[in-house]
Structure 1
Amino acid sequence: MTPCLRAAAIAEAVRAGRSGARAETEATLARIAAGNPALNAFVTVDEDRALAEAEAVDRRLAAGERPPLAGVPVAVKDTIWVAGRRVTQGSRLFADFHAPADAIAVERLRRGGAIIVGMANSSEFACKGVTTNPLFGPTRHPRDPSLTPGGSSGGPAAAVAGGLVPLALGTDAGGSSRRPPAHVGAVGFKPSFGAIPYGPGFPEPFTGIAVMAPIAADVADAALMFEALCGPDPRDPDSVAVAAADSRPSESLTVAYSPRFGLDAPVDEEVRQAVDRAVEALERAGARIVRHDPSWPPGVTETALMPLQHAGLAALYGDAFRRDPALFDPDIAAQIDRGLSLTGAEVAAAQLLGVEIARMLAAFFIDADLLIGPTTPCVAWPLDRLGPETIGGQAVPPRAHAVFTPLFNHAKGPALSLPCGTGRDGLPVGLQVVAPRGLDRRVLRFAAFAETVLAAGGQGHSG
């Protein structure tokens, strides 16, 4: 696999004059041309526009500016508005749509000196746990093209892990930018809800929990990107400021380890062992680990929350579905059809469950500073399936791979997936680090500590 790039190193070289934004963009475009056909991570690349943006950054540098992301090439998920670019959501309904404005996060990327080189593949409407859609087909795993990187941000994750770009901007409403990074060996960071302003852009089927999510090769780059993007904006009434970095060292934090996050869910033995080894390494390095499971409302499962997504899809696209169901990915069509059949009481029950999840996790953090456990219960699986057929030796439904991420969206706090070892055939495993809402920098700081510990012990990612 192509070695992963580092954004901080690129930006430092460009600011120091050892490289230039145009030179970095040309090199990136060459890597995409060579590597993307095997991955299908990028769905559109606008070389002329990217080079023009790079030349504008070089002019800023010549005028004395020193932006934090100077000359860093970035992939943007094909659901996020980039002004003038074709942005499709992987849907035939938007096959010819060109965004009229930048999302605030994209605006901030540009202000930081980053170069938007192209749009990265997503499942249709970002509503599937694998990355394939009717317009562009599947994204493939960088280590094994017969496997999926997961979804919905599989294109951005594969672009980073495959060495095409150092940074990508994804979205996350249920784990979409944590599970794919876990599967491919990258870092995926879901900030607190509102930490990075959302929109302008397409309406979200899953309202009130979706976030913009940095994906990077290491924690330092994810933090660099987050700092360039975070902070309130009056155009997003949900946007908020987050707390300053902790003054306490990571070793002094009380870190609760929960092997299944308190859920009755199967986990593959190889994943359990990789996460256990990572936790043991953290303990040896001085981390204060306690075994403690969070409590959840009775009957909590991802399935119990899915009426919100299904109803949201039905509200947005139900009329188009009624006119021509064949326009949609069959799996998305089934979700819309389900949404059209739901009662108001069923949707309200899912909303109330989300509120109770947030309340109970907040209570859990009274006695713990952080919560860690597996990002996913399995490694990547074959490209032609929605999910693995078995996990932990048990037959499971297609969404069983997604069980450990959605609850933290509903809790609205930060969660990060960090490579922590490998399982079958050397496939990556992710460690998920979670904190209360607003303590994003606590997660990033502890993850950087953990990354150093795991790298010293031969664990973590090799990009």
Structure 2
Amino acid sequence: MISRTNSAREIVADVTAGRTTAVETAKAALARIEAAKSLNAIVTTDPARTLADAAAIDARLRAGETMPLAGVPIVVKDNIWTGGWRVTQGSRLFADFIAPEDAIAIARLRDAGAIVVGIGATSEFACKGVTTSELFGPTRHPQNPALTPGGSSGGPAAAVAAGLVPLAIGTDAGGSSRRPPAHVGIAGFKPSYGAIPYGPGFAEPFFGLSVIAPIAADVADITLAFEAMAGADPRDPDSASIAQEARDIAGLRVAFSLRLGLDVAVDDVVADGLVSAVARLSAAGLHVTQRDPVWPAGATEEAIMPLQHAGLAALHGDAFRRDPTIFDPDIARQIERGLSWSGAEVAAALIASTAIARAFAGFFDEIDLLLTPTVPCVAWPFTQLGPDMIGGRAASPRAHAVFTPFVNHARLPAISIPRGADAYGLPFGLQIIAPRGEDRTLLRAARQIEAQLRT
């Protein structure tokens, strides 16, 4: 079973009304984290800092200040700068790094009253679909410790699913904050590229793809966090304003695609979950058509992966040459591959990325929302990069990730919400995708779809 703590909304209401204090909510979260150490979702805590921050929130409340996230304990992924905290990217290269300042998004959350209670595990440099690292070891699935919650935001997702905190902040450059929530039965939101400012922080191996991504039990808490973080900032030249008004789902053109127009395998339980979701939404009066995006020739994840490999090589190639054993072997292979790519091959990957973005943009010229599976399978053993089989077919190590990366390359907003579970109770998710800049419309529609599927 997925655990639940009070929602962020409930905590804000209780702290604001004086029924509890920020210090009390922080202490309770720290106690839950301590009791769940075997999950390995949280890799760093600093109780003294956390309780001092909570006391400052209580003082602000006594002074009459109103805060939309007053007293909400949060976990921040271990690749996002959180001032004064150890932030390592899951890498032994940064094992002792202390972030000199907050990323803009984290500063905004703190201004809104949120309290950082821990740093959530990530795979090294957020570049794997399972959350393991040489520095901290594996993060485990809250329902089965032999399984992975996915990656790379597995620590934040597992922390929310286990009820340690109501809200966590991850990153998403290829699905890292949608797939783990799908695997553990919660919600994860990838905003439009630039909707939430990125940095200050580590240099990214992903070229113009990664976003700050809120993770929570439901869409309402995700919306609360998004509104606290969103908005352009001059320190991030890629940040941009997005549409302020959210359109109602009743007037939207909605489509679904079982395989996203790709030749990919999907487990029957996941396919049935999407089909049954469409049937329920249709019965509730929403008109949903079946439609696949049409991709340019050669549009595969393999075609765009050189960008990740080359980015890792550019950032960490020198350290790799000095001592390749310091890296996770899976990351070392990516760096080695990145060092071998020619400039023309990297340029070809950039061209492929642009073609994918244009194809998705053309699709959303005629459609407002697209429903797909978030993942084609449920969780698998944490000792493997991916499941052995999906949909009755032998699966490659990245076959579990097929439905998310193209969204990043198109800079679109997308959200994963819980859809169902297999016969063993392992969850999977429904992904909802919208045009770039329509984040608020997407969140409003996701809340309505979430409510309909729960009835």
TM range (shorter): over 0.9
1:367-425 deviations in Å (ceiling 9; x for gaps): 11111110011010111110001110001211100010000000001000010111241
**Distance between the aligned counterparts of 1:173 and 1:49, measured in 2?**
30
Letter of the aligned partner of 1:448 in structure 2? R
Q: What is the DSSP-based 3-state SS (H/G/I as helix, E as strand, rest coil) of the residue aligned with 1:76?
A: strand
The equivalent of 2:91 in structure 1 is 91
1:102-181 map, 5 Å: 102-181=102-181
Q: What is the DSSP-based 3-state SS (H/G/I as helix, E as strand, rest coil) of the residue aligned with 1:202?
A: coil
**Distance between the aligned counterparts of 1:214 and 1:32, measured in 2?**
19
1:238-249 map, 5 Å: 238-247=238-247, 249=248
**Distance between the aligned counterparts of 1:296 and 1:373, measured in 2?**
16
Structure 2 stretches lacking a partner, 5+ long: none
Contact 1:378/1:401, CA 8 A, preserved across alignment? yes
**Distance between the aligned counterparts of 2:66 and 2:353, measured in 1?**
43
The equivalent of 2:392 in structure 1 is 393
The equivalent of 1:460 in structure 2 is none
Query: Runs of at least 4 residues of structure 1 off by over 4 A?
Result: none
The equivalent of 2:361 in structure 1 is 362
The equivalent of 2:334 in structure 1 is 335
1:231 aligns with 2:231: yes
Q: What is the DSSP-based 3-state SS (H/G/I as helix, E as strand, rest coil) of the residue aligned with 2:132?
A: coil
Structure 1 stretches lacking a partner, 5+ long: 457-463
The equivalent of 2:45 in structure 1 is 45
Q: What is the DSSP-based 3-state SS (H/G/I as helix, E as strand, rest coil) of the residue aligned with 2:398?
A: helix
**Distance between the aligned counterparts of 1:342 and 1:29, measured in 2?**
45
Letter of the aligned partner of 1:450 in structure 2? I
Tell me how many residue pairs correspond in the alignment.
454
Instruction: Measure how far apart 1:66 and its partner are.
Output: 1.0
The equivalent of 1:459 in structure 2 is none
1:74 aligns with 2:74: yes
**Distance between the aligned counterparts of 1:366 and 1:239, measured in 2?**
23
**Distance between the aligned counterparts of 2:115 and 2:286, measured in 1?**
38
The equivalent of 1:182 in structure 2 is 182
Letter of the aligned partner of 1:132 in structure 2? T
**Distance between the aligned counterparts of 1:360 and 1:304, measured in 2?**
15
Q: What is the DSSP-based 3-state SS (H/G/I as helix, E as strand, rest coil) of the residue aligned with 2:367?
A: coil
Contact 1:258/1:292, CA 8 A, preserved across alignment? yes
The equivalent of 2:277 in structure 1 is 278
Instruction: Measure how far apart 1:4 and its partner are.
Output: 4.2
The equivalent of 1:302 in structure 2 is 301
For normalisation by structure 2, the TM-score amounts to 0.99
The equivalent of 1:353 in structure 2 is 352
Contact 1:4/1:161, CA 8 A, preserved across alignment? no
Instruction: Measure how far apart 1:250 and its partner are.
Output: 1.2
**Distance between the aligned counterparts of 2:126 and 2:244, measured in 1?**
31
Q: What is the DSSP-based 3-state SS (H/G/I as helix, E as strand, rest coil) of the residue aligned with 1:279?
A: helix
Letter of the aligned partner of 2:39 in structure 1? L
Q: What is the DSSP-based 3-state SS (H/G/I as helix, E as strand, rest coil) of the residue aligned with 1:239?
A: coil
Contact 1:252/1:287, CA 8 A, preserved across alignment? no
The equivalent of 1:461 in structure 2 is none
The equivalent of 2:59 in structure 1 is 59
**Distance between the aligned counterparts of 2:423 and 2:43, measured in 1?**
30
Instruction: Measure how far apart 1:20 and its partner are.
Output: 1.0
1:4–1:304 Cα change, 3 Å? farther
Root mean square deviation of aligned Cα: 0.8
Instruction: Measure how far apart 1:38 and its partner are.
Output: 2.4
Instruction: Measure how far apart 1:452 and its partner are.
Output: 0.5
**Distance between the aligned counterparts of 1:140 and 1:44, measured in 2?**
16
Q: What is the DSSP-based 3-state SS (H/G/I as helix, E as strand, rest coil) of the residue aligned with 1:182?
A: helix
**Distance between the aligned counterparts of 2:104 and 2:268, measured in 1?**
42
Instruction: Measure how far apart 1:252 and its partner are.
Output: 2.5
**Distance between the aligned counterparts of 1:121 and 1:315, measured in 2?**
24
1:45-80 deviations in Å (ceiling 9; x for gaps): 110100000000000000111110000000000001
Letter of the aligned partner of 1:363 in structure 2? G
Contact 1:274/1:423, CA 8 A, preserved across alignment? no
**Distance between the aligned counterparts of 1:84 and 1:411, measured in 2?**
34
Instruction: Measure how far apart 1:3 and its partner are.
Output: 2.1
Q: What is the DSSP-based 3-state SS (H/G/I as helix, E as strand, rest coil) of the residue aligned with 2:141?
A: coil
**Distance between the aligned counterparts of 1:45 and 1:97, measured in 2?**
14
Letter of the aligned partner of 1:162 in structure 2? A
Letter of the aligned partner of 2:107 in structure 1? E
Q: What is the DSSP-based 3-state SS (H/G/I as helix, E as strand, rest coil) of the residue aligned with 1:413?
A: coil
The equivalent of 2:253 in structure 1 is 254
Q: What is the DSSP-based 3-state SS (H/G/I as helix, E as strand, rest coil) of the residue aligned with 2:138?
A: coil
1:290 aligns with 2:289: yes
The equivalent of 1:195 in structure 2 is 195
